[in-house]
Structure 1
Amino acid sequence: MTKKRSTYLLIAFLVTFPVLISCKEKTDKSEKSASEEKKDAIPVLMTGEGKMPSTWIDKTTGHQLKKLTSEGDNRSFYFHNNPFVKAKNSQDWLMIFYKTTESGNQLYSLNLTTQEQKAITTQPGKKRGEILGTQSRKVFYTLNDSVFASHIDTQQTDFIKKLPEGVSVGTNTLNASEELLGGVVATEEEAELFKKNPKKSDYFNLIYEAHLPRHLMTIDVENGELSKLYRENAWLNHEQFSPTDPNLLMYCHEGPWHKVNRIWTYDLSTGDTTLIHKRTVHREIAGHEFFSPDGKTIWFDLQIPRGETFYLAGKNIDTGEETRYQLERDEWSIHYNISPDMKTFAGDGGDKSQVAHAEDGQWIYHFTPNGKELDSEKLVDMSKHNYDLEPNVHFSPDGKWIIFRANFEGSTQIYAVKIEKHKA
C-alpha cells in the first residue's frame, strides 16, 4: 500500500468514527427512551380483576382511573352531599370522607393534588351525617345522642346540641349561610319501630304505613336551639338545604315511590310548602332529588311509569318549567349528579336487581344533553362491583374527573375516573 493511499484511509476513518459514535449514542438513547416509556406506561387492565394498581386504564372503556384510598375501608359522601373544600393554600382541593378505624368511623380530609390524608375526628364511636361547611371549614355530625362540629384544619371539636332522648331524630343538611342545621324529629313510637326492625326490608313499608307524625326541624349552630318547623303524619326524609337560598329546605315523603308525591320544598321565611313534581299516571315515580349548584333547579330520577320509560328531569324553582332528558334502560342510574359548570351529568349505573332491571347497566356513566335525550359514555366497567354498595358519583371540583366508591377489590375504596379518554 502506498503512503498516499494509507493517508487517505486514515483520514476517512477519522471522519467516519465520530459519526459511528454519534449513531451508537442515538441508538442507546433511543433504547433507553423506549425502556423508560415502557416503565412509565399506565397499565391497561380489566377493572376489578384482582388487586388494582394506583392508576390504570380500564380495558373496556379506555378511560384512566386512579385509586384515592387503599388502606382499610373508606367511603365517599352520599351523592348530593358536597365533600369538597379548598385547602388552606387556596390552590388545592380537599375531599372529606369516612375512614373505618379501630375506634370507629372517622372523618378525614384527602388532598386531591398531593394525596395527603389527615384525620379530622378521633372520638370513638359511629358518626352519622355528611355535612360540610365550606365557609366555616367545619364538618358536622351526630355521635351517639349529640351533634358536634370539627374544624378541618385545627381538628378543634365543638359540642352543638344534645338530642331529645328516645326520639328518632337527626341532622342531615346545613343552610347556605351556615347558621342552621336541618333535619327531622320523630316520635318515640317510630323510634321503637326502627329498633325492632333494623333492616330496611323490614322497616321500609312498616314506617310508611304507620303514618306517624314527623317534624322538619332546625338547630342553631351557635346556640344549639332546636326549632320544630312543619309537622305532617308522614315519613319526612332526605332534607337538603338549597346551596344558595338559606331559607329553602327540600325534603321528601319517604316510602314506596309509586305511592307518594315525593319531592317538596319548605320556605323557612313563610312556612309555605311546594310540591316539585306531581304524579301523572299510575305507578309513576320521581326521586333521588338534588339541587343544581346555582340552586335554581331540582333534578331527579323520573320514570313514567316505574321501570318502563326513564328520564333525568329538572324543575326550575322560579318558573316551574320542567326539563326532561330521556335515557335508555341500561343507562338508568341509582344516582345522578351534575357537573360544576352544569353542562353535563354523571350516573353510577345499576345491576339487574334495581328498578330498571338493566341487562347491561353496571357502568359509571358520563352524560351530555342532546336535544331531549342524553348521550352516554361508559367510563368504568363496574361488572365486578357489588351494587349493595351504591357508588354515589361526584364530579371533581375542576369537572375533569368523576369520583365514586366501589368494592370490586374486596374492600370499599374511593376511586376517580378521568372524563377525557386516555391518549396512548
Structure 2
Amino acid sequence: MADDERFSRRSLLAAGGALAGAALGGANAQAATPGPSVPADTGAVQGNRVLFPNWRGSGDPTPPPSPAPQPPEQRVGYCVVGLGRLTLDEILPAFGETKRSRLVALMSGSPEKAKLVARQHGLPEDAVYGYDEWDRLKQNKQVQAVYVVTPNAVHRDNVVAASGAGKHVLCEKPMAVSSPECREMIEACAKAGMKLMIAYRCQYEPFNRALTKEVRGGSLGKARLIQAFNGQTTGLPEQWRLKKALAGGGSLPDIGLYCLNGTRALLGEEPDSVQAIAYSPPDDPKFKEVEETITFTLRFPSGTIAQCIASYGVHESRALTVHTQAGAFDLQNAFAYRGQRLFVGRAEGKSEARDEKILAHKNQFALEIDHFSRCIQENLKPHTPGEEGLQDQILMEAIYDSARTGAPVKTGPLPGTGSGLDATRGPEPEEAG
C-alpha cells in the first residue's frame, strides 16, 4: 500500500473518531472540533449589529450587512384592521420579515375568521377586536399603530377612530373616496398628535427606488415620455371593488393609482394638467357602476409627458417605461408584489445595448411597515404622509372630470406645500439592509 493511501486512511479514521467523540460529548470534543476564531468568520459586535468584513474578492459585489432586527419588546406593535385577501396573503406574512415591527392585535367584523387568524399567528383571543371596539383597543398599550386595510369608503372612519384611540395610523391606498375625507383624516391625526402614513408600497420597493435615482440622476438624460400601464381581469361582480359606494371608482383608484403615484414619485413634480378617457363595455354588468378602463395623460412643468392606462379587462401586466433622448428604462412588473426586473436600453456604438440591473428583492410590505415604525420610534415625518394621498385624490377627481367632459383639466401642486420637488413627501426612507 502506498504511503499517500495509508495517510489518507489514517486521516479519515482520525477525523471520524473526532466527530464520534464530539457527538458523544467526549472530553476531547472541544479540542477535536475547534470553531472559527478570526473576525472574518466570527464577526464583531458594533452597537446593535454583528458586522463581518467583506469576505469576497474585488470581482464580486460587496454583500449587504447582516440583518439587525430589534428585540420583540422594542418593536412597534400593530393592530391590523380588516382581514381580507391583501391582509392574509401579503401583510400578515410580511411581519415575519420586519425588523422594527410586530403584530400584536387584529380587528375584524368576522369573529370566527379573526379568532382563527389570531391562532395562526400566535395571538391570544383577547387580542381580537370588533369594528366597534376602539375604546377597548385604546386600553391596549402594546398597540402603538394601526394598519387600516378595509374598503376605501370606510378608511376615513377607521383613521379618525384610530387616531382618537391614541394610535398612529398606516392606511392603505387610495386614502379615501374624496378629497374632503382625506383632509378630515389629516386633521384628525394632527389634532390627536398621531402620525399618518399612506401605504404606497412601491415607493419603498428597491427596483422602483433604483429607477427613480437613475431618472433623477440623468444617467440617460432628461425624461421626455413616461408610459405606465397596470391591467388585470376582474370577475365576481359582487366584490366591493366594483361597487362605487365602497370603492369610489373602478380601475383608476384601485390599480390606476399606481400609475399616477408612481409617475409623480418618479419625477418629484406635480402635473399642471390632466386629460382622460374612460370606457366600460355596455354589455358587461360588472361595470354598471365603475369604469373598466381609463387612460389619462399628465403634463408636467418640466415638459415631461406621462401616458397612463389602467384596465380591469386585460391579461395581467404591470409596466413602467421612461424614454429619454439617450435611451430608455423599462421596469417590468413595476407595480406587482414581486418579480420586478429593471432593464436599461441605449446606443452602444453602432449597435443597441440592453442591460439588466440586478438588485436584491425585498418584501415591499415589510419595508413600508418598518419605515413607519422608524418614524414612530424616531419622531420622523413619513415619506408618504397624508398629504401624498390627498394630492392623488385631488388628481383622480380631476381625471374623472376630464373623462366626463372630454376636456383637459388644469392641476398643480397641493395648496400650502410649495412647488419644489417632493412637496408632499417626507424624508427619503432608509435603504433596506
Question: Of Structure 1 and Structure 2, which has the larger fraction of its residues in helix?
Answer: 2
TM-score interval (norm. to shorter): under 0.3
Rg (Cα) greater in structure: 1
